[in-house]
Amino acid sequence: MDQPDNLIHQPVRLKIMAALKALPAAEQIEFVRLRKLVDATEGNLGAHIQTLEHAGYVAVEKDFAENRPRTRVKLSKHGRRAFEDYTAFLRDLIDGAS
């Protein structure tokens, strides 16, 4: 990889991916909690999640909990690998600069 993954490199999407990568594999986080973690508005977060979902980096599940709509997000295997490649690119960049 000679360039960072532009889908992940955007600051809000980078925060989303990092937050999801910190979870155990296949674990989901609720949209409301993720919004607080990345400090984004609902609309902004929703748009970024949709971009990541279309790329296959995240999976979104919508259901109801106690008669309230609930959206949960998790990192896909493809997304986990993409984030690992992205962080490896940054490590190589830093190692090459020293």
pLDDT above 90 (res 97): no
59, part of any domain: yes
pLDDT tens digit sequence for 30-49 = 999 999 999 999 999 999 99
11, part of any domain: yes
How many structural domains comprise the chain? 1
Give the position of tokens 């490896």.
88
1, part of any domain: no
The beta strands (E) that lie in 9-92 are given as 29-30, 58-65, 68-75
- Domain CATH for 34: 1.10.10.10
Domain carrying residue 58? 6-97
81, part of any domain: yes
Prediction pTM value? 0.92
pLDDT tens digit sequence for 20-34 = 999 998 899 999 999
